[in-house]
């Protein structure tokens, strides 16, 4: 399984961007300590963990997550983000 260079650069860039976004939101949660930012940081934390789990697929086909698992992870993260927007 050989991935093009663009795909590798794109995935690593998305991991870095997700990590920065999670760090900013989690820092805001630590400062304000409200439930809305907690749900938001959990949602982006799930996205960040998913991005980190997805990195080994760049180096070999040893750890491959199927499409349904990707969808479930995204659904759970989006539910937490939705809960944070509805919380008021």
The model carries a pTM of 0.84
**What is residue 62's predicted lDDT score, i.e. its pLDDT?**
59
Question: By the 8 A CB rule, do 55 and 8 touch?
Answer: no
**What is residue 59's predicted lDDT score, i.e. its pLDDT?**
63
Q: Whole domain around residue 55: which residue ranges?
A: 5-86
* Total count of domains within the chain: 1
Radius of gyration of the chain measured on its C-alpha atoms: 15
**What is residue 86's predicted lDDT score, i.e. its pLDDT?**
92
Distance of alpha carbon 75 from alpha carbon 72, whole angstroms: 5
More confident residue, 21 or 67: 21
**What percent of the chain is predicted at pLDDT more than 90?**
60
More confident residue, 87 or 40: 40
Mean pLDDT of 23-37: 95
């Amino acid at each position: 399984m050989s991935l093009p260079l663009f795909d590798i650069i794109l995935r690593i860039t998305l991991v870095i961007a997700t990590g920065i976004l999670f760090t900013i939101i989690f820092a805001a949660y630590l400062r304000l300590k409200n439930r809305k930012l907690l749900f938001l940081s959990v949602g982006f934390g799930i996205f960040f963990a998913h991005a980190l789990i997805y990195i080994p697929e760049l180096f070999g086909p040893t750890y491959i997550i199927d499409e349904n698992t990707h969808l479930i992870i995204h659904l759970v993260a989006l539910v937490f983000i939705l809960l944070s927007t509805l919380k008021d």
